[in-house]
Amino acid sequence: MRTGQHVVEEITVPPYEGRSLRVRKGQTLYIIDVEGKQVGDFICFNAEEPREHVSPVHMRSSLSSIRLKVGDGLYSNRRRPLMQLTKDTVGKHDFFFPACDYYRYKVDFGLEQHPNCHDNLQKALNKYQLGHLEIPDPINWFMNNALDENLDYVIEEPLSKPGDYVALLALTDVIVALSSCSQDLAPVNGFKVTPLLMQIAEG
């Protein structure tokens, strides 16, 4: 998985929580699905200018695509890639859906105390004094959705198996945050929330 590289930092993202890391230019971030079928809501900021962030709507425009493939850049709201997808053992992800939030659970499920990815990401960013920033739409690693014959979304269980991963090369210094998606009331995570693992490697 990391031939010729060594891990310089590693952090587990527990179920229903978020974590953040600084990834320096030239380092590779691995996001690993530990037990399988777990979506990770991912956001990424330019470490030197946090008003620049990875933006799914700009990615769809810059890539002229609604799917992610190895070699694609993670484009920012200033239309330049901050990271690049260099390895992917799953090949099915989402960058359409927003992070689940308080209102998602209150309006759709009648729950007011359910953990949610928006709050998880905001809390995780406090580590770098960025919790005051508006949370951009995420890339939802391992999320499995498709369009049916009517062009409506169908969300199914992720295809990821234990140990599956994506690798992201930092093209500039970035601060990233990842939430272990809290949705346990729909097929998004196979109805079970499990941990994710982030590793920073170099060399």
pLDDT (0 to 100) of residue 22: 98
List, in sequence order, the alpha helices (H) in 21-159.
Answer: 56-63, 102-109, 117-125
Residues of the chain with pLDDT under 50: none
pLDDT (0 to 100) of residue 62: 96
Give CA–CA dist 98/118, Å, rounded: 9
pLDDT (0 to 100) of residue 148: 85
> In degrees to the nearest 10, what's the CA dihedral of 144, 43, 180, 165?
60
pLDDT (0 to 100) of residue 1: 52
**Both tokens of residue 90?**
């799953």
Name the nearest CA neighbour of 125 among 42, 184, 189: 42
pLDDT (0 to 100) of residue 9: 96
pLDDT (0 to 100) of residue 3: 62
Predicted confidence (pLDDT) per residue in 91-136, tens digit: 999 999 999 998 899 998 899 899 999 999 999 999 999 989 999 9
Strand partners, 168: 29, 85
Q: Provide the 8-state DSSP code for 13.
A: E
